[in-house]
Structure 1
Amino acid sequence: MQQSSLFPSVSSTEPEILPLVDGNIRYFNHFLSTQEADHYCTRLLDSLAWRQDHIKLYGKQVKIPRLQAWYGDNDALYQYSGINLQPNPWSDELNVLRERCEAACNVRFNSVLANCYRDGQDSMAWHSDNEPELGRDPVIASLSLGQVRNFDLKHRVSGEKYRLPLEHGSLLIMAGSTQQFWLHSLAKTKKSLAPRINLTFRFVSANLRR
């Protein structure tokens, strides 16, 4: 059964196309209304099964500098940096947002990685979403809620960099060869910042896993 939204759709029909060589990125600055974005940010902060995982860095187990939660279909198993994620069942709010993002991207998503950046010291290191189960040219829909943070991109070969502040209620869509050629990150800052939630909707396939 399709879950209806509490709010009318106000997403922009004209995204900004980022001027990136070897990249295919579209950015909707106001994908959600301020009212919608406020609602979902508060609700998801309180309701998602947040956890802080560990990764091995220089032979030591260290906490990743953010909280995260993995939701999806029963078979949407995901691995990255030695972390094995078992999906939590979809919540009503995540289902509504998934449907909105699927309509914007014209693809189906079976999972979402939620990241919570509690303050300016929480971050994401340089990486690309190139795990085997995502396929060669995955479509990643990245929805931002809460504090505006800078999203940095860096070309693997040329070293070209691009910075985009991700607004509250915005949607960034990465497609095509973006993950092959571009790294992205969210840097730490000493500024006093409010929490930010990032939802990255994706499709994972066990058939593509090595």
Structure 2
Amino acid sequence: MDLFSEEKTRLKLPNAELIYIDCFYNLDRANHYFETLKETVSWQQDDITIFGKTHKQPRLTALYANNDKPYSYSNIIMHPHQFTSELSQIRTDIEQEIKHQFTSVLLNLYRDGNDSNGWHADNEKELGKNPIIASVSFGAVRPFHFKHRHLKTEKYQLNLNHGSLLVMKGEMQHFWLHQIAKTKKNIGARINLTFRSII
């Protein structure tokens, strides 16, 4: 279902609220950030254990923050680097847009269609009760799938465009799951920045 037909849309779903801005950054700015982040971020590839089997996480990641608080998920503990000037500027742009402050950003680099992020929620205790997550995308367009944990008819797909901003609010991380699935399409790299506040 296509939920977002306007350039900026607010959507109230059961137990969630989303804001999507299709062109948060214009093409030149988005291209600049994509190339700069791809080359300058301290990317890492952690091991992840699922159902007793350990393998390489199917994407590269990095954590940056204005503090030294680690972030843990899926038995991975990440320690932050200090914000770069580019990440600080992006954070400021988002904070001014949505009137909410963030301490940290988790970055994902999907190198091609084989890289993915399975069904999950950003519900770690470090993020607080009802975390606000602001997600900026640069590079190749990938579908963002999200579904309600209990209401089986509540499932959607949204293409996250180059330079777009998606904000997840309310109880979404408690009641919804989301993913970036693998694809056999021949697509390029995508960088995703998910700003959050680690308490």
- Output the TM-score relative to the length of structure 2: 0.94
Residue aligned with 1:40, SS: helix
Distance of 1:57 and 1:183 partners within structure 2: 17
Tell me the equivalent position of 2:4: none
Tell me the equivalent position of 2:98: 105
Partner amino acid, structure 1, of 2:191: I
Distance of 2:172 and 2:12 partners within structure 1: 12
Q: 2:67 touches 2:103 (CA, 8 Å); kept in 1?
A: no
Partner amino acid, structure 1, of 2:170: G
Deviation at 1:180, TM superposition (A): 1.1
Residue aligned with 1:52, SS: coil
Is the counterpart of residue 126 in structure 1 residue 94 in structure 2?
Answer: no
Distance of 1:98 and 1:188 partners within structure 2: 28
Tell me the equivalent position of 1:6: none
Deviation at 1:115, TM superposition (A): 0.1
2:188 to 184, 194, 202: 194
Deviation at 1:73, TM superposition (A): 2.0
The answer for unaligned runs of 5 or more in structure 1 is 1-13, 206-210
Tell me the equivalent position of 2:161: 167
Residue aligned with 1:18, SS: strand
Residue aligned with 1:100, SS: helix
Deviation at 1:70, TM superposition (A): 0.5
Deviation at 1:177, TM superposition (A): 0.8
Distance of 1:163 and 1:20 partners within structure 2: 14
Is the counterpart of residue 32 in structure 1 residue 54 in structure 2?
Answer: no
The answer for unaligned runs of 5 or more in structure 2 is 1-6
Distance of 2:167 and 2:132 partners within structure 1: 7
Is the counterpart of residue 84 in structure 1 residue 39 in structure 2?
Answer: no
Partner amino acid, structure 2, of 1:106: K
Tell me the equivalent position of 1:55: 48
Which structure has greater strand proportion?
2
Deviation at 1:183, TM superposition (A): 0.4
Distance of 1:74 and 1:21 partners within structure 2: 34
Distance of 1:109 and 1:49 partners within structure 2: 20
Deviation at 1:17, TM superposition (A): 2.0
Q: 1:72 touches 1:90 (CA, 8 Å); kept in 2?
A: yes
Distance of 2:116 and 2:60 partners within structure 1: 10
Deviation at 1:19, TM superposition (A): 5.0
Q: 1:56 touches 1:62 (CA, 8 Å); kept in 2?
A: yes
Tell me the equivalent position of 2:3: none
Aligned residue pairs, count: 193
Deviations 1:60-117 (A, max 9, x none): 2111100000000233311000000100011010000010111122111110000000
Deviation at 1:20, TM superposition (A): 2.2
